[in-house]
Structure formats: structure tokens, C-alpha cells
Amino acid sequence: MYYLACDGTWTSTEGGTPQCSGTLRSVDASQLGASPMSDADRTELYGWTITMFAVAFGYVMLKRALK
């Protein structure tokens, strides 16, 4: 994937169109630094998200049941 980069500053016209005060160039996504998550990272994050949701849901249901 490629992104547009400006070696100057981005400004906006009255109509809202972005405008570069320098030179536009194309940059590969791999040159931007951080790589995207791996499948193992995504799976682990999904698992922790489901676990946290289940704990919070269980807490709310237990609190309602004890009232």
C-alpha cells in the first residue's frame, strides 16, 4: 500500500481541498515504521477482549442479582 506524503505542510483551501506547500511523493507503507499486527497478536487481542467483556458482563449480572 502506498501513501501520499508532502515534504512541506498540508493546508486546506476555502473549499476544503487539501493542498501541499511542498512536493508530493509516494511512500510505501513499510517505510512508515510500525508493522501491522500479526495473526497471533490479533488472536490474542481478540481473546483478551472477549474475556474482559465476559468478566464485566458477569459482574453487572451478579450485582443485579444480589440487589
Residue 55 has a pLDDT of 98
Contacts of 49 by beta carbon, 8 Å cutoff, 6+ apart: none
Best mean pLDDT range from 1-10, 26-35, 38-47, 52-61: 52-61
Most confident of 4-8, 14-18, 21-25, 56-60: 56-60
Residues 6+ positions from 41 with CB-CB distance below 8 Å: none
Q: Where are the domains of the chain?
A: 1-36, 37-67
If pLDDT is split at 50, 70 and 90, which confidence band does 65 have?
very high
Under 8 Å CB-to-CB from 51, ≥6 apart: which residues?
A: none
H/E stretch holding 6 reads strand 2-6
pTM: 0.46
The pLDDT value given to residue 46 = 96
